[in-house]
Structure 1
Amino acid sequence: MDTRDQILSAATTVFAQHGFRGSTTRRIADAAGVNEVTIFRYFGSKDALLEEAVRLDSTTPLGGLLPEVPANPEAELTSWAEAVRDHLHSKRSLIRKCMGEMEERPEMMLCAKQAPVRSTNNLCKYFESLRKHGFTQEKVDPMVPAAMLMGTIFHDAMGREMMPEAMPKPQSKAVTQYVRLLLNGLGVKRKSSTQ
């Protein structure tokens, strides 16, 4: 990992732990194993560094791409949604800090929203494809099921440890249940085990 990447990685970690105010350039430099001057040489300011770190972190795809032509909607969406939930859960400290900084630093959310927006658009295309390929006859704005699934996954990833009593159990089957309920609502038939 080169020096720039070390600094960005350290900045993401420090920001997730301490927020904007607590993410001093000294603290980031110590975490990156560089001196403070190096940070300013690469990024110019703490603001620029943290915006770049959050933006870069948000370029990581959430769950990958869904297939253009659906074959097994329940399996495809469940696999995708589990990957998204796991990714969001692994980044929950960073996400919480970005959300907490939104009022004071709206530019942080502009950086952080890239991956979720791409994922929601990917879901919309997938739901359009389900209809196009005859899996459902429902004429629904694809943003509705996309927002429902993204919101549910986000709630599970961010809230399960804070309020486990408000989450379906067992956790290992929760995403399958979310996807199944959504697909049932759209009128998508489950594949039988003999197909």
Structure 2
Amino acid sequence: MPCLESAAMDTRERILQATARVYAQHGFRGATTRLIAIEAGVNEVSLFRTFGSKAALFEAMMQSHASSLPVPELPDIPGDAQSEITAWCAALLAHMRQWRSIIRKSFGELEERPEAAVVMCEGPNCAATALAAYVARLQAAGRADETADVATAVSMFISSMFGDAISRDVLPHAFPQPEEAAPAKYVNVFLRAVGAFGAGDVVPLRTADTADARRAAAQ
């Protein structure tokens, strides 16, 4: 029954979207199934028939967030690193800003429901892994400093984006750059941190002794 299956999927999606809106406003305790059902335009029986319990409903809503991350993949063969990472950064920031209220609520309830915050961080964690792998490809191509502290640079970059996405409106002095200019500015600092160069540039080759000396100095 394709029509029935489609209607069931529409109802499920409508309930998930309503859950996100109600949770963003009221938190887990305040987001009653009655409020969610009213927001979704369904009765509570349909809600429980679809998800089974309030806990299962919220888990599905959080997983929906994690699976909806519309971040483009960084290319296997790096081209223009600045433009590629900037576009990637802008997409990630846009997604986190879209879910800002829910991310805040999940962190506010961290002690009571730590699993929610963990799910909210899946996207940034995956993004950090993808960015580190991209820098490794730049290094392999001789286009980034092989001795750069990539882990720290990635951590600072992702943390800056996360803080921007959820705190810019309440901490404007911490983010003086215009919202639309932020991705490019973050990327410029990040590329300098990892010693990255343009598509046509190659990092000068270093002897093993020089590389070892740089590593020792960084420790």
**TM-score, normalising length: structure 1:** 0.91
In 2: Cα distance, 1:113 partner to 1:156 partner: 15
Tell me, yes or no, if structure 1 residue 120 matches structure 2 residue 128: yes
Contact 2:149 2:194 in 1 (8 A): no
Aligned counterpart in structure 2 of residue 10 of structure 1, from 10, 18, 23? 18
1:65 correspondence with 2:73:
yes
| Cα distance between partner residues in 2 of 1:172 and 1:4 | 34
Matched, 1:148 2:146: no
Decide whether the 8 Å contact of 1:62 with 1:119 is kept in 2.
no
Report if the CA contact (8 A) 2:18-2:39 is conserved.
Answer: yes
Deviation at 1:3, TM superposition (A): 0.9
Count of residue pairs the alignment pairs up: 192
Per-residue deviation, 1:58 = 1.3
Q: Which has the larger displacement, 35-44 or 18-27?
A: 35-44
Cα offset, 1:170, TM superposition: 2.9
What's the offset of the Cα at 1:112? 2.4
Tell me the distance in 2 between the aligned counterparts of 1:24 and 1:17.
12
Contact 2:148-2:195 at 8 Å conserved across structures: no
Contiguous gaps of at least 5 residues in structure 1? none
Distance 1:186 1:142, change over 3 A: closer
Structure 2: 5+ residue stretches without partners: 1-8, 201-219
1:78 — aligned with what? 86
Q: How far is 1:149 from its partner?
A: 1.2
Match of 2:49 in 1: 41
User: Out of 21, 30, 33, which is 1:25 matched to?
Assistant: 33
Choose the corresponding residue for 2:101, options 81, 86, 93: 93
Q: TM-score, normalised by structure 2?
A: 0.81
Q: Retained in 2: the 8 A contact 1:69–1:133?
A: no
Aligned pair partner of 1:163 in 165, 171, 189: 171
Distance 1:109 1:84, change over 3 A: same
CA RMSD of aligned residues (A): 1.7
Q: Whole-Å Cα distance in 1 between the matches of residues 137 and 15 of structure 2?
A: 41
- Tell me if structure 2 keeps the 8 A contact 1:62–1:116: no
Q: What is the CA-CA distance between 1:145 and the residue it aligns to?
A: 2.2
For residue 156 of structure 1, report the CA deviation from its aligned partner.
1.3
After superposition, give the CA deviation of every residue in 1:47-88 in whole Å (9 maximum; x if it has no partner): 110111011111122522111111111111111111111111
**Would the alpha carbon gap of residues 170 and 190 (structure 1) be closer, same or farther in structure 2, given more than 3 Å must change?**
farther
Separation of aligned partners in 2, 1:177 and 1:61 = 22
Identity %: 40
Name the SS of the counterpart of 1:58 in structure 2: helix
